[in-house]
Structure 1
């Protein structure tokens, strides 16, 4: 039966309980007559109620009726936090909730809906993309395992073939040695045989001669006979031939493995590591863009004509890089004023871009290296060969993203480092085309809260946004209409807790605000002059480093 068409019994207004129901509040799940709609709108926020005709209410919704049998069906305006259930006035009068915290049901509905909205934003913006990215990485890892397995098997087979060649070589050497021994022994024996054969021939002549003497009647022949036995008295030496013998070596299996080679498995164990999404993201409340952003603080740099980059530590510490090859440390007080501290570390090369590592220490790039500034001491983290580090940022999970140009200025890439280990390199799209203009232009980089990689490519006049796996999501190239009707010239960028991307447009003296999908939201146009570096603090205050050496703090989101 269609409940929207049911007319088996009359339904009365939940407020006055006398007039027939005509409207339904989808927010509070209350049935109302026309006369009571206005009064109900005054409860809570006016925009918090959604009214539909009673016949058009959504199926499956449960009205705010009490479920206690003694006062079943009575309207519930209250909610018990301890019992996590709706209660009516009779429930309160019965004393069963006397020590419990009671709230108006409208308040709990608004609270839960805001919580649901935050959860939906968190799931859509961060959790789901993270799982999708990890799944893609696992599929990539499967392909990588198959390829590496084939490579390992080929190496084993190739090594086996080489070992066979070595064994055959050894066999041939031993055979040659055996042949040489045989040839030497055969030659010796043949020489001895030849000599003995000569002796035998001589002996046979002597025998024949002696027989002739015995048979002869000639006095001359018999009288001239001379014995030759003395010549054959010494018999030839017996040749003692020693035959070579092959002694095979029985090699234990373990020794065979060590001699042939083995698989190294210590560093190839499959390990499942669960990484928790940072808890701070769960507590990020929903904030709306202010209609009129306001500059709440203006700080003038010390003797600097230009500020390039800016980064915040907590609520009261700001670092900037300047054109006089220094890093400025700005301490903000509770009153909103500032105290400038000049940091002049002994640097071989001037700093360009800065960020903070997961422990809050300053990391900066120069012409050749990526460096850590800790306790006023400089530690070189990475020295790049054939690449020039430009800009960098720290990620939610503590990695470093670095955008760099090749020394010949023909290539640009983004590299992800975990400590000093290169984990990922992003340079080309699926068609082999470069993501970034390789000309030596300004390029800034930031990671969004949904783990997207955002890169300003000034020379191309675009912001390139890639997902965590390095695939292109979109390019933002500005709007047709700008505050000064000039071409879009992006320089710095940052992101906020709402997954919004903020881009400084030095040509139009404003900040572009776009959402995580590249949809333009608004301009921040409040008297800025040549905005360059950007960052946001933990309260979503925006810091803008201007080319003229001024740092401005701007409030642009409502609490």
Structure 2
């Protein structure tokens, strides 16, 4: 809508001298004033009444005091949330209350509403629209996947003829039941999203109406609901059923048909819960954690001791590094042994029992962070001695099998840094938290770049410092956001799902998961390991 103040057809002018576009307005006399005339109006006009000069854009917000009819409300009592005049301010009723200049408060409130409107229209509402649009697609995918399963079952059933008809029919019924569960879960999510869309739509309309009003009382009643809408309703993760056929053995027909895995629908918690706080001896500078089991975890930090704790915080075992220097990172192998990198003597070492064996000694490169893979290999981040190159190297035992450093255009995949955590996902992707690049870099098992995640739009890229990283049984990637005191959850294709925050995390760094997807987080500054539940 065109602003009449600047309209070529009807330019607003000073009521005293005709100067165009006057910046001030007397809210008592209801006249527009340029700067020169403002002073004339204050000192040369009728002295029998007060004058209240306000910025032109805030004209009309002045209201007479309901208790003192001759007075104008120039302040807002934030304790009572009502406009007050000078006599009200001086009274005992508001003596101990907090008060703000009403013009400053009104402008601040308008800015908040404008920001909320922008967030709702530009960010939050489109996300809900996208989620709602995706529901029919998910529903169609359920049918496509179930048809693939049914076809596989039919093919196996034809080979086994009538002997397996009863079993096949029962498995089909299981698919139908799981489809019904899946559709029901989607329906529930769609209802929740559509309900919130309605509320957001109403909130947008209400905000637009408030932004067009000059009624201070209405505006003072406004309460922002933006944070309430910012996160989508709880999103479920689906472990889709699969069919595993076997070669036919007529003596063991039932076993030979194969198995149909169960449908699993899990939801990310809106508010993750801290289950355990483990206080360590590090006090400050704890860096990495790795689960030996669901009840025992190895830790390392800024001293030369590797420590094993149980969930009660009891120290079960301590191992001093072979060099007597600070270890860079740790990982537990598939066989339950501990490996650690030693930056100082450029070695990768295996702790087995009371023995420490040096597996690899590097030349020209410094080993940094590492992880153990599903195949039993080791993935190691290493930086060249001159600090100008960084790469991921895969080892089988002490034998190098793969080196990942460049993309298809010959550009470096990773920044030259000594703070780069990594993890292998269930789809065998290699996920790297590159702190200096403000990014999570994910490549395939073959080393081809799949995507870079630079945090959601609501987070400035420069403030995102990913440190620790791990992946869960659903293929989601979790990375610590050190400076923002939270953890990002993204799916295996790099789409942001939600934050783990508002649960007291302080400077999270190293991460690991147990077999039940409980998350262990080390807090670098406090020396604490926290166990969190973020699924239900």
Length-normalised TM-score, structure 1: 0.50
Render the CA deviation track for 1:156-196: whole Å, top value 9, x for unaligned: xxxxxxxxxxxxxxxxxxxxxxxxxxxxxxxxxxxxxxxxx
* 1:420 shift after superposition: 1.1
Instruction: Give yes or no for the alignment of 1:291 onto 2:267.
Output: no
- Residues 269, 534 of structure 2: 8 Å contact kept: yes
1:109 matched to which residue of 2?
A: 176
- Is the alpha carbon distance of 1:361 and 1:480 closer, same or farther for their aligned partners in structure 2, counting shifts above 3 Å? same
Q: Is 1:542 paired with 2:515?
A: no
Q: 2:397 aligns with which of 419, 425, 434?
A: 419
Q: Which residue number in structure 2 is paired with residue 93 of structure 1? A: none
How far apart, in 2, do the equivalents of 1:122 and 1:350 lie?
46
Contact 2:428–2:444 (Cα < 8 Å) also in 1: yes
Note if 1:341 corresponds to 2:408: no
- The change in CA–CA distance for 1:286 and 1:326 in structure 2 (over 3 A counts) is farther
* Residues 411-490 of structure 1 mapped to structure 2, 5 A cutoff: 411-438=389-416, 440-482=417-459, 487-490=463-466
Distance 1:340 1:454, change over 3 A: same
Matched, 1:84 2:167: yes
Give structure 1 stretches of 5+ with no counterpart.
Answer: 1-49, 51-56, 62-80, 87-101, 128-281
C-alpha deviation, 1:480, in angstroms: 2.7
Distance 2:427 2:174 in 1: 30
In 2, distance between residues paired with 1:284 and 1:425? 38
> Does the aligned pair in 1 maintain the 2:239–2:474 contact within 8 Å?
no
Q: 2:385 aligns with which of 388, 407, 416?
A: 407
The answer to whether the aligner puts 1:382 opposite 2:382 as a matched pair is no
CA–CA separation in structure 1 for the residues paired with 2:263 and 2:403: 31
- CA change 1:346–1:509 in 2 (3 A) is closer
**Deviation of 1:285 (Å):** 4.4
TM superposition shift of 1:479: 2.0
Q: Secondary structure at the match of 1:293?
A: strand
Q: Following superposition of structure 1 onto structure 2, how do residues 52-91 of structure 1 map, counting pairs within 5 Å?
A: 83-84=166-167
After TM superposition, give the deviation of residue 326 of structure 1 in Å. Answer: 1.4
Higher gyration radius (CA): 1
CA root-mean-square deviation: 3.3
How far the C-alpha of 1:313 sits from its partner, in A, is: 1.6
> Structure 2: how far apart are the matches of 1:366 and 1:115?
48
Q: CA deviation at 1:346?
A: 4.9
Q: Please say if residues 475 and 492 of structure 2, whose CA atoms lie closer than 8 Å, have aligned partners that are also in contact.
A: yes
How far off is 1:351 after superposition? 1.3
Q: How does 1:165-176 map to 2 (within 5 A)?
A: none
Q: Is the CA contact (8 Å cut-off) linking 1:304 and 1:324 kept in structure 2?
A: no
User: What are the Cα deviations for residues 245-264 of structure 1, in whole angstroms up to 9, with x where unaligned?
Assistant: xxxxxxxxxxxxxxxxxxxx
Residue equivalent to 1:518: 494
- The Cα of 1:110 is off from its aligned counterpart by 2.2
In the TM superposition, residue 304 of structure 1 has moved relative to its aligned partner by: 2.8
SS in 2 for 1:338: coil
Match of 1:300 in 2: 279
Size of the alignment, in residue pairs? 304
- Structure 1 residues 555 and 122: alpha-carbon distance in aligned structure 2, compared to 1, 3 A threshold: farther
The 4+ residue runs of structure 1 with deviation greater than 3 A are 105-108, 111-123, 282-286
What is the Cα deviation at residue 121 of structure 1? 7.6
Q: What SS does the corresponding residue of 1:516 show, helix, strand or coil?
A: coil
Does residue 356 in structure 1 map to residue 362 in structure 2? no
Q: SS at the partner of 1:393? A: strand
Match of 1:312 in 2: 291
1:329 and 2:396 are equivalent in the alignment: no
Tell me, yes or no, if the aligned pair for 1:369 and 1:383 is still in contact at 8 Å: yes
Supply the distance in 2 between the matched residues of 1:421 and 1:303 (Cα, whole angstroms): 34
Give me the whole-angstrom Cα distance separating, in 1, the residues matched to 2:242 and 2:328.
Answer: 34
Secondary structure at the counterpart of residue 83 of structure 1: helix
Could you tell me which runs of 5 or more consecutive residues in structure 2 were left unpaired when the two chains were aligned. Answer: 1-135, 137-142, 148-163, 184-236, 245-260
Displacement of 1:338 after TM fit?
Answer: 3.2
Whole-angstrom CA distance in 2 between matches of 1:300 and 1:377 = 27
The alpha carbon displacement at 1:339 in A equals 1.5
**Structure 1 residue aligned with 2:370:** 392
Counterparts of 2:350 and 2:242 in 1: how far apart (Å)?
32
**Quick one: distance in 1 between partners of 2:301 and 2:263?**
32
Tell me: CA distance 1:431–1:347, structure 2 relative to 1, closer, same or farther (3 Å): same
Q: Is the 8 A contact 1:345 1:376 kept in 2?
A: no
Deviations 1:412-455, CA, capped at 9 Å, x for gaps: 111011111111111111111111112x3410010000100001
Judged with a 3 Å threshold, the aligned counterparts in structure 2 of structure 1 residues 301 and 535 are, in CA distance, closer, same or farther, namely: same
Q: Distance in 2 between matches of 1:464 and 1:429?
A: 11
Q: d(CA) in 1 for partners of 2:272 and 2:446? A: 35
Q: 1:115 to 1:421 in 2, by over 3 A?
A: farther
Q: Retained in 2: the 8 A contact 1:398–1:418?
A: yes
Q: Once the two structures are superposed, what CA deviation does each residue of 1:188-237 show, in whole Å capped at 9, x if it has no partner?
A: xxxxxxxxxxxxxxxxxxxxxxxxxxxxxxxxxxxxxxxxxxxxxxxxxx
How has the CA–CA distance of structure 1 residues 82 and 405 changed in structure 2, closer, same or farther, with 3 Å as cutoff? same
2:484 is paired with a residue whose SS is: coil
In the alignment, the residues of structure 1 paired with residue 303 and residue 441 of structure 2 have an alpha-carbon distance, to the nearest angstrom, of 30
Quick one: distance in 2 between partners of 1:468 and 1:423?
A: 12
- TM-fit CA distance, 1:527: 1.3
